[in-house]
């Protein structure tokens, strides 16, 4: 991306200590697709020391998805957070916590761009199985009625008896 980053922190003249930032941007500005709607909000806190910059970021967004069971459109709020340690040059990172992400900054780097990290963390927040609600009943496999809206009149079919042995194993 050649354009100016939406979530950018100038670190060139940043004094040591804790600094807080708030950002807002449209999802398309950082390369997210139309599933993401509303405004992305970020609350970032930087703790700068002589040798490193520790970043903690909280991200809030909203997505518009289709339920995997009933195909209804639903909105879901997404909240995630991450931390990152920025170090200058190739110094040893043995004193850093293992769960922290580490990025090495070149000596002439004046900005930290959060766009890519925010996009990736939001994409990882989208569940594998998208459900409008946990108790979604989906469609009847026989008549196709949405069982969240109407009762099914075809009745549940008896399962194939060849699966009985497998059912016994699942109850153990």
Domain ranges of the chain: 8-135, 137-172
Token pair in block for residue 171: 């109850």
Give the chain's mean pLDDT.
86
The Cα 163–Cα 111 span in angstroms is 60
113: number of Cβ within 10 Å: 16
pLDDT (tens digit, 9 = 90+) per residue, 65-85?
999 999 999 999 999 999 999
The pTM of the full predicted model, rounded to 2 decimals, is 0.76
10: number of Cβ within 10 Å: 9
According to the model, what pLDDT value does residue 152 have?
82
Pairing mode, if any, of strands 73-88 and 101-105? parallel
pLDDT (tens digit, 9 = 90+) per residue, 119-137?
999 999 999 999 999 999 9
CA angle 142, 146, 148 (to 5 degrees): 130
Q: Which residue has the higher pLDDT, 66 or 108?
A: 66
Task: Please say whether the beta carbons of 63 and 38 come within 8 A.
Answer: no
């Amino acid at each position: 991306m050649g354009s100016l980053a939406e979530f950018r922190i100038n670190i060139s003249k940043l004094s040591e200590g804790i600094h807080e930032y708030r950002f807002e941007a449209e999802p398309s500005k950082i390369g997210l697709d139309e599933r993401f709607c509303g405004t992305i909000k970020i609350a970032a806190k930087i703790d700068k020391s002589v040798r490193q910059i520790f970043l903690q970021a909280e991200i809030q967004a909203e997505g518009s998805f289709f339920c995997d069971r009933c195909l209804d459109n639903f909105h879901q709020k997404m909240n995630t957070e991450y931390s990152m340690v920025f170090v200058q040059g190739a110094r040893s990172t043995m004193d850093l916590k293992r769960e922290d992400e580490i990025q090495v900054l070149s000596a002439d780097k004046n900005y930290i761009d959060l766009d890519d990290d925010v996009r990736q963390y939001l994409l990882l927040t989208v569940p594998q199985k998208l459900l409008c609600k946990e108790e979604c009943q989906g469609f009847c496999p026989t008549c196709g009625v949405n069982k969240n809206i109407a009762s099914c009149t075809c009745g549940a079919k008896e399962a194939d008896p060849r699966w009985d042995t497998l059912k016994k194993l699942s109850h153990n």
